[in-house]
Structure 1
Amino acid sequence: MKRLLISALLYGLLTTTFAQVTKSGSGTVTTTVDSSSIKIDTTKKKRGIKITFGGDGNIYSRYDTTKSHVVKKSSKFNFGFTFSRFDLGFSRLVDNGSFTLSPQNKFLDYKGGKTAYVGFDVLQMGYRFNPYFKIYLAGGFDWTLIRLRQNITIQENASTLTYTTDNVSYDKNRFSASYLRIPLAFDFRTKDDKRGNKFHFTAGPEIGFLLNGKVKQISDEMGKKKFYDNYHFSQFRYGAYARAGYKSLGLFVKYYQNGLFENSPAQNGLKSLNFGLTFGL
């Protein structure tokens, strides 16, 4: 009995003398000494630096572990690959301001419904000034495909644009040129309508560099034949164009100021006019 009383007395003395330590779930240690408490925050903060290059070139630095979502401002400048402004239409020869070919150019008489223009852009670099106006420079390719009516062959490596008349009935006699095209665009667009779509209007100058000329002939007598040469197509061309449309579909027209051919005096003043549909404004 005496031992029990002594043990109880010692236990009570110890509980009032020594500290009782408890840990909270938030990482705080509470120490109790003689009914007074001291709180010590043991949460460790790791210092770090986060650098983000936004569209405006700002650098952000942070020194805590709090995760933050940095919203990048959309850049007004853009550059990259694309597949857009796919032009599909018709081509017309304009002989000194007339759609009727002069006598010296009658050999170039063509089938209007099968004389085509095809082109598209694959590279674009531009700057948007506001939601409604943008300027961009693009690069792409195009083809002018003239379907000749007469059974002739345009001659390769001739001093001027020259042809021979063939005793062959051609099912297809196509005379074509392919160019690298570089348009400069001033692009205007409206606000979104109720459907979230816009009207577009684009105009500007365009230059081109000749890639090659080609003659393709198909006949029962000769089968399929292809010939490649520059055929006196202009090595460098320049002109203007315009596009107008809604959403991603529109109309285009192009007119080249310099002649379709060079170093061939009989074809001076012969130019090309192209028009049709544009997919992917």
Structure 2
Amino acid sequence: MKRLLVCALLCTFAAGAFAQDKKDTVLVITRDTTNKDRKSVTISFGDKDSNDDSTKTEVKSKTKFSFQFIAARFDLGLSTYTDKGSFTLSAANSYLERETWKSSNFGFEFFQMGYRFNSYFKIYTGAGLDWNHMRLKQNITFQKDKPTLTYVTEAVDFKKNRFSSQYLRIPLSFQLRTKDDKNGDKLNFVFGPEIGFLLNGKIKQVSKENGKEKFKDDYNLNPFRYGAFARLGYGGTGVYVKYYGNDVFANGQGPEDFKNLSFGLMFGF
């Protein structure tokens, strides 16, 4: 819960700092390809509303290719799972029972490149990090370096038994947006496919007997995942949903047809 509160605060601050087109305070690296007589790479810091031309990147054309290092699309939500299409676990997979409100998803993007066709439509891809935290109810520990997902039942009562995965996420986004309203904000709808590459798996346990313990391994998680996402928001905040079409665990190394669905709030379009 502390992690979620901290993340929420960070995301709230990030929304104000990074979210809006006219109010971003970011490091921006932009290559201008719209002027045939002048091609340049601009690095800028600060508020885009600043009157100082040395710290402002102007968009002089509605059609533009750009690449940027950013801090945006902070996701903070819940992570849930389907077992053969059902949200109810089968008896064989009951060891994966989790605490619903403590199984979370957090992620953000740090890079994007894209092409804006006009003020209403843009296609871009990017890169970011994505975590899923599964808070297990059972007093079990997954074993490292096993050919299939293997666990042992512990003779301790865990106050926290969290099983996590971290992925590099690479989305392909199709953005539709409206004109500015009287406040200078827009309604945004973004959707598209996403792929991910496993960076690591992690277990964090807290108990009276053993204190705090952490273990890292791939834990038979799928090294590659693919899915789709959708985002809807106004100004710098909104909601998101992400669904991954392949299994959470690698083929033949864990429960089959066990898939991940995440949804929640997002900050920073």
Q: TM-score range by the shorter chain?
A: 0.7 to 0.9
Partner Cα distance (1:150, 1:172) in 2 = 10
**1:83–1:193 distance in 2 versus 1, CA, 3 Å:** same
Partner Cα distance (1:110, 1:269) in 2 = 17
State the Cα RMSD in Å: 1.7
- Which of these residues, 157, 163, 184, is aligned with residue 172 of structure 2? 184
- The percentage of counterpart residues that share the same residue type is 54
Q: Which amino acid aligns with 1:270?
A: F
Aligned length: 219
- Which of these residues, 58, 64, 73, is aligned with residue 37 of structure 2? 58
Shift of the alpha carbon at 1:263?
3.7
2:188 equivalent to 1:200: yes
Deviation per CA, 1:72-92, whole angstroms, max 9, x where unpaired?
A: 834601102000000000000
Q: Which amino acid aligns with 1:56?
A: N
Q: Which amino acid aligns with 1:158?
A: K
In the other structure, the counterpart of 1:78 is 66
Structure 1 segment 28-177 matched on structure 2, within 5 A = 55-58=34-37, 73-74=60-61, 76-177=64-165
**1:133–1:167 distance in 2 versus 1, CA, 3 Å:** same
Q: Which amino acid aligns with 1:252?
A: Y
**1:54–1:124 distance in 2 versus 1, CA, 3 Å:** closer
Runs of 4+ in 1 over 3 A off after TM superposition: 71-75, 263-266
Q: What are the ranges of 5 or more consecutive residues in structure 1 without an aligned counterpart? A: 1-52, 60-70
In the other structure, the counterpart of 2:219 is 231
* Rg larger in structure: 1
Partner Cα distance (1:56, 1:72) in 2 = 12
In the other structure, the counterpart of 1:262 is 250
User: Is the contact between residue 212 and residue 228 of structure 1 (CA under 8 Å) also seen in structure 2?
Assistant: yes
Q: Which amino acid aligns with 1:118?
A: F
User: Is the contact between residue 104 and residue 266 of structure 1 (CA under 8 Å) also seen in structure 2?
Assistant: no
Q: Which amino acid aligns with 1:115?
A: S
Shift of the alpha carbon at 1:211?
0.2
User: Is the contact between residue 200 and residue 245 of structure 1 (CA under 8 Å) also seen in structure 2?
Assistant: yes
Q: What are the ranges of 5 or more consecutive residues in structure 2 without an aligned counterpart? A: 1-31, 39-57
Partner Cα distance (1:187, 1:109) in 2 = 37
TM-score between both structures, scaled by the size of structure 1: 0.75
User: Is the contact between residue 232 and residue 264 of structure 1 (CA under 8 Å) also seen in structure 2?
Assistant: no
**1:86–1:266 distance in 2 versus 1, CA, 3 Å:** closer
Shift of the alpha carbon at 1:110?
0.2
Shift of the alpha carbon at 1:194?
1.8
Partner Cα distance (2:201, 2:251) in 1 = 15
Q: Secondary structure at the match of 2:144?
A: coil
Partner Cα distance (2:108, 2:59) in 1 = 31
Structure 1 segment 206-225 matched on structure 2, within 5 A = 206-225=194-213
User: Is the contact between residue 240 and residue 256 of structure 1 (CA under 8 Å) also seen in structure 2?
Assistant: yes
